[in-house]
Amino acid sequence: MRIIQYKKDGSAKIEFSKLEIKIINEKKCFDLPAESLKHFVNNLMAIVVNFQENFPEDVKNIQSFGEGKDSIEPENK
């Protein structure tokens, strides 16, 4: 997966590899062991910091509120 941010307006696109698309289509999810999740979170935090710098000033000041919980129940639970 690649997340590409456009510096002009701060928007982004997410691209998936053919293998990632195959896994999503087959399993409908990603299962991450603890160590893989830790690496994912570390990389995600680096992306968040870099992306914040590229947002327009009015977007930088937008706040999000909530508990951060999914509003959709997983199908397999």
Instruction: Kindly give the confidence (pLDDT) of every residue in the chain, 77 residues in length, as a single tens digit, with 9 standing for 90 and above.
Output: 888 888 888 888 989 999 999 999 999 988 889 999 999 899 889 888 888 888 888 888 888 876 665 555 556 65
Return the pLDDT at 68: 60
Residue 10 forms part of a structural domain: yes
CA distance 30 to 44: 15
Return the pLDDT at 38: 94
Residue 37 corresponds to which amino acid? L
Containing structural domain, residue 28: 2-54
pTM over 0.85: no
Most distant CA atoms of the chain, gap in Å = 41
Number of domains, the chain: 1
Residue 62 forms part of a structural domain: no
Return the pLDDT at 60: 85
Q: Which helix (H) or strand (E) holds 75?
A: none
